[in-house]
Chain A
Amino acid sequence: MIVSQISDEQLAFLEDKANQIREDIIKMLLEAGSGHSAGSLGTADIFTALYFHVMKHDPKNPDWEDRDRFVLSNAHICPVLYATLAHAGYYPREEMMTLRKFGSRLQGHPHRGILPGLEASGGPLGHGISIAIGMTLADKIDGKRRRVYCMLGDGEQDEGQVWEALMFAGKNKLNNLAVVVDRNNIQIDGFTEDIMPMEPLNEKYRSFGWHILEVDGHNIRSIVDAFDEAKAVYEKPTMVIAHTIPGKGVDFMEFKPEWHGKPPNKEEAEKALAELEQIKSLGGKITCEHH
């Protein structure tokens, strides 16, 4: 691992930002009455790292030609993307509460073109990874150096398209691509290794021609460092296996497959927000140190 470039002040800012995004995810899902809680909460640290530190982008100029791209392949966790885009300034924060409602730009699953900052539509699993690869390939043909980021779900590995895409990216040595897989071990019907065992993921990706990094998906310093290392890798795309806790930050949701695809009710939301408030008072220290 390369020496981290991120200062303690930056880290504290990012940890606080991730917690604010978690709070908004809870509020959005309560208001929507449906949606995916566990993955949204579990990836808030990764989204914060990407949009507030790693990626080159300009929320005031969402169509900026040279921006880095982010594609959400496990698009059902879009509440975290929507909340992150609002916090980054892509659209007004009050609009977050229109999630899944009639006339909203925050569709149940993302619709490219209606909300600034959305680079792709998504919903059916396996799609986003191919789209991200297509963006990277176009840049490679044009000699452009902007980077493309993509998030995959771990349950999404069940889809054949993912492996078609991984094979293609390895063959074409798409070094401007960094994919992060949200390894939270749950999918709708239960634990991933019960539904369709996918381990050893690390070895599988490696054999497909990828550079592999594994991180604690709640240690923002590790996440940032991993994406930094990815930039230094030539001749290979990078896969960051981020080990996360589904429902992170809300004790009664953590590790529970039943929270994959449902929102909190009012009582649960209040409890969740109280827990997140408590974490804030601890100075945002919800990560473990990773060596």
Chain B
Amino acid sequence: MLNPDLNLADNLFDDPDQVPQRNGYGDGVVEAGEKNKNIVVLCCDLTESTRSLAFKKAFPERFVEMGIAEQNMAGIAAGMAFSGKIPYIASYATFSPGRNWDQIRVSICYSMANVKIMGAHAGISVGPDGATHQALEDIAITRCLPNMMVIVPCDYWEAKKATIAISETNGPVYMRFGREKVPVVTTEKTPFEVGRAEIFKHGKDVTVIACGSLVYESLIAAGSLSKEGIDVRVINCHTIKPIDEGIIINAAKETGAIVTAEEHQVHGGLGSAVAEVVSKDHPVPIEFVAIMDRFGESGEPDELMTKFGVKSRDIIIAVNKVLKRK
């Protein structure tokens, strides 16, 4: 059922491995740092939680403890970038790129500073910490910035590969991670290229375009729907900007209906990005699985994913709905 060319995890539908995406950043930045001595990591008093700790241990002279000062962190990163460094700045996404958006806009993006912004604890699945710490707007506020690249990895391996890949791109990047362990969908051998979405499952009736933890939920939904005779294409769209227009337009043309799925506000995230492409080039009906313009709350991750409507069940409902509009 899965695209055989991509070496996806073969235990995906049975008992997939569970690892937080942020671990992929933690391992990836150490690997990138071994290759490139200009890589530095800055962190705002969240070194363990953001998984910057391994880099700190491996390269203490290239690790900078900022204290709880995200605005200063963004500015210092810009200055370091102007002097040849490649700073990865890590905090929770609500604080960076949330609290320091102005610094990211002017000191980093307007100035084309080569800074990589690592936003941990994004999404409703952050859980018990509640709404203040659940970043649900971060894709929207970074996607709108000129020069910014935005990446939402689906699992550990993708986060690791993306962390390494962006060390070789010049310019600002925002990458978001969740807090929780999520199923490992890909493997070390799965191809990854910045800006290139992948068809994780072929299908002809409808396309689900997802990012982050919703890629797994989409594959589960597609599995259930195939039993009802609905052939769902699933696209992993890890790069929200620049978005892979070709794969989206082809999906619109070939399947005639699209569902987007993300752990983010419905306004301004992946769904909006997909709709911008589709409405311009090949309009087809779209349904959005996302957080519907409200703040999160405390609870266990799975309780919240269910309550806020971002589970495979919700994708199935959206697919049935969009097919009626086809």
Contacts and interface: CB of A to CB of B under 8 A. Distances in A.
Interface string B38-82: 001000000000000000000001101011010110111111111
B67 A161 contact: no
Interface in B78-129: 78-85, 87, 102-103, 106-107, 110-112
B71 A164 contact: yes
Contact of A134 (B67, B79, B110, B112): B79
Interface in A117-171: 119-124, 126-139, 141-142, 160-161, 164-165, 167-168
Contacts of A122: 106
Contacts of A126: 71, 75
A105 to B, nearest CB: 15
Interface size class of A (residues with CB under 8 A): 20 to 34
Contacts of B64: 137
A121 B79 contact: no
Given A135-B79, A161-B75, A167 B67 contact: yes
A126 B61 CA distance: 27
Contacts of B84: 138, 142
A130 B74 contact: yes
B61 A141 contact: yes
B80 A111 contact: no
A123 B112 CA distance: 16
A132 B80 CA distance: 9
A132 B83 CA distance: 10
A121 B107 CA distance: 6
Interface in B228-275: none
B75 A139 contact: no
A129 to B, nearest CB: 7
Q: Chain B interface secondary structure, helix, strand, loop or mixed?
A: helix
Given A113-B112, A137-B64, A168-B69, A120 B78 contact: yes
Given A112-B111, A127-B107, A161-B103, A137 B71 contact: no
Nearest to B107: A127
A128 B64 CA distance: 19
Contacts of A127: 75, 102-103, 106-107
Interface string B11-50: 0000000000000000000000000000010000000000
A132 B76 CA distance: 7
Contact of B106 (A113, A121, A135): A121
A135 B82 contact: yes
B111 A134 contact: no
Nearest to A71: B79
B107 A168 contact: no
Contacts of A165: 72, 75-76
B83 A124 contact: no
Contacts of A161: 71-72, 75, 103
B76 A141 contact: no
Contacts of B75: 126-131, 133-134, 161, 165
B111 A121 contact: yes
A79 B74 CA distance: 26
A139 B112 CA distance: 20
Given A124-B106, A164-B69, A137 B111 contact: no
A145 B77 CA distance: 19
B80 A138 contact: yes
B79 A137 contact: yes
Contacts of B111: 111-113, 120-121
Nearest to B105: A124
A117 B61 CA distance: 30
Contacts of A164: 67, 69, 71-72
The residue in A119, A123, A168 that gathers the most chain B C-beta atoms within 10 A of its C-beta is: A168
A46 B269 CA distance: 47
A137 B106 contact: no
A176 B77 CA distance: 18
Interface string B181-210: 000000000000000000000000000000
A141 to B, nearest CB: 6
The residue in B64, B77, B81, B111 that gathers the most chain A C-beta atoms within 10 A of its C-beta is: B111
A130 B62 contact: no
10 contacts: A120-B82, A124-B106, A130-B103, A131-B76, A132-B79, A134-B83, A141-B85, A161-B75, A164-B67, A168-B66
Interface of B: 40, 61-62, 64, 66-67, 69, 71-72, 74-85, 87, 102-103, 106-107, 110-112
Interface of A: 69, 71, 111-113, 119-124, 126-139, 141-142, 160-161, 164-165, 167-168
